[in-house]
Amino acid sequence: MPKLTIARLDLGGKRVFLRADLNAPLEAGAVSDDTRLAAVVPTIEHARAAGARVVLASHLGRPKGKPTAEFSLKPVAERLAVLLRTEVPLAADCVGPEIEAQARALKPGRLLLLENLRFHKEEEANDDGFARGLAALADVYVNDAFAAAHRAHASIAAITKHLQPAAAGLLMERELAALGRVLEAPTRPLLAILGGAKVSDKLTLVENLLSRVQALAIGGGMAFTFLKAQGLEVGRSLVEPDHLETARRVLDAAKRRQVEILLPLDAVVAAGLDSPAGRTVDIGSMPPDEMGLDIGPKTVERFAAGIGTAKTIVWNGPMGVFERAPFAQGTMAVAHAVAGAKAFSVVGGGDSVAAVNAAGVADRIGYISTAGGAFLEFLEGRSLPGVDALTDA
């Protein structure tokens, strides 16, 4: 681990500014999915057990730089109190003399949750003055918000200029270790499975992975641009005409690098997303008035064979419109195949994580990332501001 971690800090009596990602979905004024909250609990408990006074900070939603009741962290405080089995007081703001006094008054082992950082436009602007105000609340900085590590925001980047040391939390450490294992030291063969709607969303990722993987399986809507680039009929399936030449270049580059590209052999087609059922046709025999909405059984078999021979697997993006029952079987089958593989597997991105949860196989995945954008940018080979800002080990 090239960055300082919370395990190496002496936290006794220290005020710890803990940047977490508590951006949980809300329904009827309550947290409807506490996955991200539960993920940071081990770091909070570690700090409390070490005698730290925890100043917890996060964003929630997009309040556009001004306080709104809709985006208050009050429901998060209430759910955290249940998960931690302790009181989680919510501050009225996140900076200012009153908040500084509250932070100073914290007893060892206690915590204070700051109100939504994005109630101040200076947060997303990475404003130095705002960062200085946040830094005044604590003695040491810990970032456990890997899901927000690709954002150069005040509580993620600028704050570390005024608050040192800056260490990775337990969740951040696990994320970096798992993704580093995939990119830097994978047991080979390494297979990447990519899905989702658009080639344009994953283009940089595909290009970076070509230099690292032995095989690349492409499903979802993005597969049809690659199939069309090969001159195949794909009906009304999602195709990005502007990226057909790019798809050809990717296929040519894969051939030169001897990277096996696994594309669909068949698809489940229908007239539209609202169709009550689909039917399976071979790629190349797709009717011009229907669209591919899932991979078919031949493709599942092909992908499963690739999964079965891999030693390391990284998966991002569903194989079809899995939110709709008639078009979920391909994604579910891939989830089961990945879970059953004798390989170290990493799954990231909201849809892929939802798929392994829906398939009931989450406990058989090597590592499930809490991140979406940061997960993709890390795999694309980009540097992440939230990681770069941490103190070197």
pLDDT tens for the chain, 393 residues: list them. Answer: 689 999 999 999 999 999 999 999 999 999 999 989 999 999 999 999 999 999 999 999 999 999 999 999 999 999 999 999 999 999 999 999 999 999 999 999 999 999 999 999 999 999 999 999 999 999 999 999 999 999 999 999 999 999 999 999 999 999 999 998 998 889 999 999 999 988 888 888 898 899 999 999 999 999 999 999 999 999 999 999 999 999 999 999 999 999 999 999 999 999 999 999 999 999 989 999 999 999 999 999 999 999 999 999 999 999 999 999 999 999 999 999 999 999 999 999 888 999 999 999 999 999 999 888 898 899 888 899 999 999 998
End-to-end CA distance of the chain, in Å? 7
Which one, of 379, 381, 315, 378, lies nearest residue 348 by Cα?
A: 315
**Bridge partners of residue 64, in order along the sequence:** none
Residue 13 in any domain: the answer is yes
Residue 370 has what pLDDT? 82
Residue 130 tokens read as 């705002």
Residue 84 has what pLDDT? 98
11 neighbors 51 (Cβ within 8 angstroms): yes
Residue 152 tokens read as 């150069």
E strand or H helix at 217: strand 215-218
Residues 160 and 195 in one domain: no
Strands 166-168 vs 140-143: parallel, antiparallel or unpaired: parallel
Tell me the C-alpha distance between 348 and 183, whole Å.
14
Among candidate residues 170, 205, 238, the one where a domain is terminated? 170
Residue 388 in any domain: the answer is no
Reduce the DSSP state of residue 111 to 3 states and report it: strand
Residue 81 in any domain: the answer is yes
Residue 1 in any domain: the answer is no
Residue 385 in any domain: the answer is no
Name 261's Cβ contacts closer than 8 Å, sequence gap at least 6.
215, 216, 218, 226, 251, 254
Q: What is the CATH number of the domain that holds 247?
A: 3.40.50.1260
Residue 1 has what pLDDT? 62
Neighbours of 41 (CB within 10 A): 16
Among candidate residues 146, 170, 194, the one where a domain is terminated? 170
Residue 256 has what pLDDT? 96
Residue 202 has what pLDDT? 87
182 neighbors 315 (Cβ within 8 angstroms): no
Residues 234 and 344 in one domain: yes
Among candidate residues 142, 170, 198, the one where a domain is terminated? 170
Domain that holds residue 40: 6-170
Residue 387 in any domain: the answer is no
Name 203's Cβ contacts closer than 8 Å, sequence gap at least 6.
243, 246
Residues 225 and 329 in one domain: yes
Residue 113 in any domain: the answer is yes
* Alpha carbon of residue 143 to chain centroid: 16
Residues 153 and 266 in one domain: no
Residue 355 has what pLDDT? 93
Residues 113 and 246 in one domain: no
Residues 323 and 217 in one domain: yes
Phi, psi for 250 (deg, rounded to 5)? -65, -45
Which residues form the catalytic set? 36, 198, 350, 373
Residues 223 and 357 in one domain: yes
Residue 199 has what pLDDT? 84
Q: Count how many domains the chain has.
A: 2
Residue 384 in any domain: the answer is no
Residue 227 has what pLDDT? 97
Residues 164 and 220 in one domain: no
Residues 71 and 157 in one domain: yes
168 neighbors 176 (Cβ within 8 angstroms): yes
Residues 153 and 193 in one domain: no
Residue 105 has what pLDDT? 98
Residues 363 and 250 in one domain: yes
Tell me the C-alpha distance between 159 and 133, whole Å.
9
Residues 193 and 144 in one domain: no
